[in-house]
Amino acid sequence: MFEIRNATDTAGNKPLRLFYALWPDDVTRDALQALQMQVHGRRTLPGNLHATLTFLGNQPATHLPMLEELLAGLPRNAITLQIDRIGYFKRKRIAWAGSHAVPDALIRLQESLAQALTQQEISLDRKNDFTPHITLARDAEPPTDRPFEPFTWEVRQIALVRSMQEGGRLDYRVLASAHLDGDGA
C-alpha cells in the first residue's frame, strides 16, 4: 500500500529538507523511548524516532511527485531488525540504537534507493557510509555500557519525510509512505 499525506501542502518555491526513512510502529517507538532513558543528552522527540535510509537535504518542491514515485517503486519485502546495541558517534555527539548484524535486505534496499535517486539526478548525502541507526539523543554524553533486553523491529513502513524547524525544535512530517509486507530477512 502506498499513501500520500498532505504533500500538496508543501508545494511552492521554497526548498524542502527531505529524507527517506524506516518509520517505526508504536510498539517499536515505545521500546526505543525506553532505551532513551539510558542516554543523557537532548533526546529525540518520540514522534521523530526513525532510521534514515537516505538524506536528500534541500530539494525543490517540484521534485515531490518523482520522489513519491521512487518510494512507490521500492522493494516491498518487510525487514526484521534486531535492536541489540547502543552506539555513539563521537564527532557529532549522537547516542543511537541499532543492530550488530545489519540484514542484507536493508543494505539492498538502501542501495536500490540510492541508485534510483542517482538515475534521476537527485543529489543525496554520500558523506558517510550507510550506518543504520536510530538517533536517541543529540549533544549526548557517551552512553554507559549497560546491557538491555534486545527487541525486534519488524519494519513495515518506509517514508518520505520533511524535516522542519518549528518554534526552535526539529519536527518531522511524513509526506508519503509505502508499507512493506512478507517475511523479514
Domain ranges of the chain: 2-179
- C-alpha 100/C-alpha 107 separation (Å) is 14
Topology of the domain covering 2-179: Cyclic Phosphodiesterase; Chain: A, (3.90.1140)
Q: Which residues in the chain show pLDDT less than 50? A: 6-11, 184-185
| pLDDT of res. 4 | 57
| pLDDT of res. 184 | 45
What one-letter code names the amino acid at 90? K
Residue 147, all three cell numbers:
546491557
| pLDDT of res. 116 | 93
Q: Does pTM top 0.95 for this prediction?
A: no
Structure letter (DSSP) for residue 61 = G
- C-alpha 3/C-alpha 7 separation (Å) is 10
Closest CA to 159 of 95, 113, 104, 102: 113
| pLDDT of res. 155 | 95
Contact 93, 39 (CB under 8 A): no
Q: For strands 42-43 and 51-59, give the pairing.
A: unpaired
Q: For the chain, what is the radius of gyration of the CA atoms? A: 16
| pLDDT of res. 78 | 87
Contact 24, 32 (CB under 8 A): yes
